């Protein structure tokens, strides 16, 4: 009996990425067990045939395709990466009909995508932030994915060991508009549920992390 494609994938995710500094092909940061957990969480919590939008393509793309989304918008600037994803799916009989590859930086792709969603009053059920990991890309991704993520939708933030992404994770952990629902990959990735109804965050007065850090960083007042 042949092993189903989904089991083959979670047991041995393909080496889709090559990073010159590491000089070897790799899976992209998620192990098979974490991809399986993410897939199960989306099936359990995101509703039937979810709409999913991710920055950074790779094995998360395949794991999300296996959740049979109505739509998966995957944003990454590299055609060759999508060619490898499509070739893998094709060779394993994994449907890619719901996939819209967006070969572009997220900073360019997300603003018009969000504008269309807002104009049409439509929402995504799942957002994944795993594209560019530096300043300000992580926060650009967060701003627009937050705007298109429905209330009670899921937001995955990967690579919180990096200070840039870590700042976003610390912000979210204190934000009443989010609750932590799962940690993945030994704590390097967190999944939050959006509790807020609005598409945009309140200004700094409604942001507990910014309030707390501003108090911490305030210069001592001169004695009268």
Ligand X SMILES: C[S@@+](CC[C@H](N)C(=O)[O-])C[C@H]1O[C@@H](n2cnc3c(N)ncnc32)[C@H](O)[C@@H]1O
Residues lying near ligand X in the complex (CB under 6 A) = 16, 28-30, 55-60, 75-78, 81, 105-107, 130-132, 137
CA distance 172 to 145: 13
Q: How far is the CB of 123 from ligand X (least distance, A)?
A: 21
Q: How far is the CB of 88 from ligand X (least distance, A)?
A: 11
Q: Which residue is nearest to ligand X (CB)?
A: 58
Q: How far is the CB of 45 from ligand X (least distance, A)?
A: 19
Nearer to ligand X, 125 or 130 (CB): 130
In sequence order, the β-bridge partners of residue 184 are 189
Q: How far is the CB of 48 from ligand X (least distance, A)?
A: 23
Token pair, residue 89, equals 């799916």
Q: Closest Cα partner for 161 from 136, 188, 139, 192?
A: 188
Q: Quick one: 73 exposed, middle or buried, by C-beta within 10 A (0-12, 13-18, 19+)?
A: buried
Residue 46: count of CB within 10 angstroms of its CB: 21
Nearer to ligand X, 84 or 175 (CB): 84
Q: How far is the CB of 102 from ligand X (least distance, A)?
A: 9
Q: Closest Cα partner for 193 from 206, 170, 175?
A: 175
Nearer to ligand X, 16 or 99 (CB): 16
Nearer to ligand X, 61 or 207 (CB): 61
Q: How far is the CB of 115 from ligand X (least distance, A)?
A: 18
C-alpha distance across the termini of the chain, in Å: 83
Q: Quick one: 107 exposed, middle or buried, by C-beta within 10 A (0-12, 13-18, 19+)?
A: middle
Nearer to ligand X, 29 or 32 (CB): 29
CA distance 82 to 75: 10
**3 state SS for 144-180:** HHHHHEEEEEEEEEECCCCHHHHHHHHHHHHCCCEEE
């Amino acid at each position: 009996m042949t092993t189903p494609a989904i089991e083959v994938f979670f047991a041995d995710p393909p080496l889709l990425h090559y990073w010159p500094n590491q000089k070897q092909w790799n899976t992209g940061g998620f192990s098979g067990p974490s991809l399986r957990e993410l897939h199960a969480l989306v099936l359990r919590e995101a509703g039937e045939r979810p709409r999913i939008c991710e920055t950074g393509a790779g094995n998360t793309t395949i794991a999300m395709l296996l959740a049979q989304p109505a739509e998966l918008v995957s944003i990454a600037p590299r055609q060759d990466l999508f060619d490898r994803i499509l070739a893998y799916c094709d060779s394993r009989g994994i449907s890619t009909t719901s996939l819209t590859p967006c070969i572009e930086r997220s900073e360019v792709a997300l603003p018009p995508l969000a504008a269309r969603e807002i104009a049409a009053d439509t929402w995504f059920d799942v957002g994944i932030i795993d594209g560019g990991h530096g300043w300000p890309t992580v926060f650009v991704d967060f701003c627009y994915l937050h705007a298109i993520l429905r209330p009670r939708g899921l937001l995955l933030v990967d690579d919180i060991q990096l200070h840039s992404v870590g700042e976003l994770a610390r912000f979210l952990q204190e934000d009443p508009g989010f609750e932590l629902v799962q940690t993945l990959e030994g704590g390097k990735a967190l999944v939050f549920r959006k509790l807020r109804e609005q598409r945009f965050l309140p200004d700094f007065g409604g942001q507990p992390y910014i309030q707390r850090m501003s108090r911490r960083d305030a210069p001592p007042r001169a004695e009268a």
